[in-house]
Chains A and B, each alone.
Chain A
């Protein structure tokens, strides 16, 4: 639940989570176990095409939801089921309360339903005088504690066995032990009595199948089966996003949902209910159960009309976006959502629970794309989160420092002049080793977890004009995109790349009008500035003149490739150019390894162990995995694998400025893993990561050197 009024209060809440050792350990263990479990569950399956098929079928269902609802209703009613449409949560709750009153029900047992959490159904039913009992173990626990879920699939993951023991001791009035198996059995027995007493059962639905008018429920504990069997009235509450044309569509989702949620190939139970079933409870004349489907809109039908946000409808509520989120792993679900949790939670919070609940949350995305990479519906979650942030800013206005940065970035000359001026400004605090001695006044002490680099004496663009190599008989013609960090902070990385390219007959151009790629402002939700900068850069490049456009910054590369065409979508002429521009973007390692195909024999072997950090925007953003690791070996070093090599380093551009505590913790984990490898050198493909990793290792006093892959290739060239 979100209670913070502003970012400051939200950060204080995050701090509480960071100090919760139990939560941190649990979520760390979970993150590691989940990854292995999921991989195993999907072994030998073509996951990507399966996800694409789900996305397509869900998109078609969204576009056709009115007709699907009509078909579903007709078939369900023909089978004796009452179907109700609720336009919002209050209406859904009122309908359900009325069903209960009309049927003379007093006690409700429920199986887990995120949709009922969304409408806050329990509160409304209790206000109407019903006794409501959750029967899913985790839901029961949090209900008794008056909390919301901290994970969509494992709602009580934030609690320890000892806390559950204390709770169950209170509930039973008898002292309980902390043994998990025993606690589960206590719940089994205590709740069995509730099923017997209840006269109304409420479930959700994972699938609403139009061709049969039936529903499907995916569960492990078996409680949904009892809830839908024992009480004489059954109500199933579901969003219109659950509507599917055919059973086949449901079976397809079923292939991914449990595997993505918990790494199970299938859950213990999948229950298919079609029509008013036999029910032998007392007081029913014809032994037919009274069944009601309450189909909830709550903004969904508007959402599916939006060209960008309609993909939200693809969500199957597997919770995987939380499972892989490095920020969720640090702070837990109560701080990473309002009711819905994880990346999709940040988005749904905005649409279902409003701007105020979402405004802090949406800033807490580090844009590492881990969620997008595993989403069962292939939803571009990081992009939607940024878009919502932009919408909120458009409504509320940007904070002043952010506005200033935006106006500076729009003006390349001013931006570059300021960067050059920084070289003089930093003199008093610059140390000889490329770091500044203490942080400038604008940083608070939370930022001191890493040292910051000084601005270079000579930016790359100036060096280029003096040192541009001449290549006779070029094999490839390329343009270089440096990005701000390599232009002004680490020009030596660009110079190292130029060295290797020239040696391999690559003719290079460096368009001088290029500026910041715009990702930092887009990360802050400043979409207008992001567009302006994209247009400037597109105009700076003569796209058709090059075979490739190379950048050594993974974040720039992913942004140029994936976001530029989207940013100029409304300008047809530029869109064509952006498409061609995007198609030519390539990262350093892929170019050198896969295009130039450099050979091991061209590099000296050095007695150095190197490990690797995979930048988020390289491994997920560009799907590049092998090229840099192969280059390390070709470049004469011994590659040692690092644990969680593809997990974010915590930089996230402006994220680390906004949430330094989180950035520090992510970096801490990363560096522990790096130091464990015993490597002498840590290599990576992104200057942002270099800045973060180098600054953190400097603070630790570590001997591990951080280099861009380009630098060691140049160093070891024969």
Chain B
């Protein structure tokens, strides 16, 4: 098997092992369609099993009430792509935003981003997010949808080391390896997805 295909296969295998949902797409338009469909099918944030249906203290419950419609955040998208997303989102009845994440800390429905690199060894996304808006979109979204161009998959962390250093040296920098959704096993060692970060991670592998 050619090395590239082997890397791709490994990346998918490892990402799925840690509960990421991986889909191959042919174009960025496919990605927009995926995101809009996903947002449509998804229950609105305040109804999702993110705790709002549970009995909470009054203060925490008030935070849930703060949100009314489904919100889709895509802070670091290219201008053209964002325009398209905003138009499609509006049609579907969603709030599409590229800034102002701090007014949505109770949670948004979908954070939509690009990854710089994929690491096949562990099914990891490397997302460079010095901008706070982008960072928060990957943290407070219930579903994080991330596009990874196939050509950007590397074998292991050592293979992205140089690229990381280049970015780190242009300070300030805030970079993340993201592998699957947020998880915990802190109660009785039972694996539970979605603690403080996204409940689901969707990786869109873009053919390029």
- Please give the residue numbers on chain A whose beta carbons come within 8 Å of chain B beta carbons, in ascending order: 26, 29-30, 33, 78-80, 135-138, 141, 154-157, 159-161, 164, 171-176, 180-193, 195-196, 211-214, 220-223, 225-226, 229-230, 247-248, 251, 254-255, 262, 264-281, 288
Residues of A within 8 A of B107 (CB): 192
A214 touches B194 (CB 8 A): no
Complex contact B105–A196 (CB within 8 A): yes
A14 to chain B, nearest CB (A): 23
- Provide 28 A-B residue pairs closer than 8 Å at the C-beta atoms, listed in order of the A residue: A138-B187, A141-B187, A156-B186, A157-B189, A174-B57, A184-B187, A188-B194, A188-B196, A189-B64, A190-B51, A193-B60, A213-B171, A220-B182, A221-B196, A223-B195, A225-B135, A226-B139, A265-B14, A268-B179, A268-B180, A268-B182, A271-B174, A271-B175, A272-B168, A272-B173, A273-B174, A274-B175, A276-B172
Give A272 Cβ to nearest chain B Cβ, in Å: 4
Residues A274 and B14 in contact, CB atoms below 8 Å apart: no
Chain B 102-134 per-residue mask, 1 if CB under 8 angstroms from chain A, else 0? 100111000000000000011010000011110
| A185-B187 contact given A225-B176, A270-B176, A280-B102, CB 8 Å threshold | no
B63 beta carbon closer than 8 Å to chain A:
yes
Query: In the bound complex, do residue A155 and residue B188 qualify as a contact, i.e. CB atoms below 8 Å apart?
Result: no
B173→A183 contact, CB < 8 A: no
Residues of B within 8 A of A280 (CB): 102, 132-133
Instruction: Find B186's partner among A137, A190, A192, A222 (CB 8 Å cutoff).
Output: A137
Whole-angstrom CA separation of A230 from B176 in the bound complex? 16
With A189-B52, A189-B54, A268-B18 given, name 7 new contacts (CB 8 A): A184-B184, A186-B54, A189-B56, A225-B135, A247-B164, A265-B179, A269-B197
Please give the distance in Å from A19's CB to the nearest CB on chain B: 19
Complex Cα gap A181–B184 (Å):
10
CB pair A180–B56 under 8 Å, yes or no, is no
The residues of B that contact A230 with a CB separation of less than 8 Å are 105
* Least CB separation from A142: chain B residue: B186
A-B pair count, CB < 8 Å, reads: 225
Given contacts A186-B56, A247-B161, contact A272 B195 (CB under 8 A): no
Report the nearest B residue to A172, measured CB to CB. Answer: B57
Collect the chain B residues with CB atoms within 8 Å of residue A193's CB.
Answer: 59-60, 63
Which has the most chain A C-beta neighbours within 10 Å: B186, B194, B198?
A: B186
Residues of A within 8 A of B18 (CB): 264-265, 268
- Inter-subunit contact A212/B105 (CB<8 Å): no
- Measured CB to CB, the nearest residue on chain A to B173 is A274
- Chain A residues whose CB sits within 8 angstroms of the CB of B198 once the complex forms: 222
CA distance A334 to B190 in the complex (A): 21
Residues in chain B near residue A269, CB distance under 8 A: 176-179, 182, 197
| Chain A nearest Cβ from B125, distance in angstroms | 10
A155-B186, A275-B171 are known contacts. Are A190 and B56 too (CB-CB below 8 A)? yes
Given known A181-B49, A192-B107, A221-B195, contact A154–B185 (CB-CB < 8 A):
yes
Q: B56 contacts A251, CB within 8 Å? A: no
Inter-subunit contact B183/A221 (CB<8 Å): yes
- Chain A residues lying within 8 Å of B184, measured Cβ to Cβ, are 137-138, 184, 220-221
Residues from chain A with Cβ under 8 Å of B106 in the complex: 192
> Contact between A190 and B182 (Cβ–Cβ < 8 Å)?
no
Q: A185-B49, A192-B107, A212-B169 are in contact. Are A156 and B196 (CB under 8 A)?
A: no
Cβ-defined contact, B172 with A254, below 8 A: no
- Shortest Cβ distance from residue A108 to the other chain B in the assembled complex, whole angstroms: 16
Interface status of B192 (Cβ within 8 A of chain A):
yes
- Judged by a CB distance under 8 angstroms, whether B21 is at the interface is no
Per the bound structure, the CA–CA distance linking A155 and B185 in Å amounts to 10
Q: In whole angstroms, how far apart are the Cα atoms of A191 and B197 in the complex?
A: 12
Q: Answer yes or no: B181 CB below 8 A from chain A CBs.
A: yes
Q: What A residues does B124 contact at CB under 8 A?
A: 266
Contact: B54 with A182, CB < 8 Å?
A: yes
Beta-carbon contact of A185 and B51 below 8 Å: yes
Contact A222 to B195, CB < 8 A, known contacts A229-B139, A274-B173: yes
CA distance A180 to B124 in the complex (A): 27
Question: Are A180 and B190 in touch, CB under 8 angstroms?
Answer: yes
Q: How far is the CA of A369 from the CA of B165 in the complex (A)?
A: 39
Question: Within 8 Å CB of A279, what residues of B?
Answer: 132
With both chains docked as a complex, state the minimum distance between the C-beta of B61 and any C-beta of chain A, in angstroms: 8
With known contacts A172-B56, A185-B51, A225-B139, A272–B165 Cβ distance under 8 A: no
Judge whether A277 and B195 touch: CB under 8 Å.
no
Q: Which of A136, A137, A266 has the most CB of B within 10 A?
A: A266
Q: Is A268 in contact with B51, judged by CB distance below 8 angstroms?
A: no
Are A160 and B139 within 8 A (Cβ)? no
**With A192-B106, A212-B165 as contacts: A172 and B158 at CB distance below 8 Å:** no
Q: In the assembly, what is the distance between CA of A498 and CA of B178, in Å?
A: 61
**B24 interface contact, C-beta 8 A:** no
B182, B187, B194: which has the most chain A beta carbons within 10 Å?
B187
Q: Is B88 located at the chain interface by the 8 A CB criterion?
A: no
* Minimum Cβ distance to chain B for residue A546 (Å): 48
* Partner among B54, B102, B132, B168 whose Cβ is within 8 Å of the Cβ of A176: B54
Using Cβ atoms and an 8 Å threshold, which residues of chain B touch A189?
50-52, 54, 56, 60-61, 63-64
**Pair B197/A180 contact, Cβ less than 8 Å:** no
A173 proximity list for chain B (CB < 8 A):
57-58
* A439, B133: Cα distance in complex, Å: 73
Whole-angstrom distance between the Cβ of A342 and the nearest chain B Cβ: 16
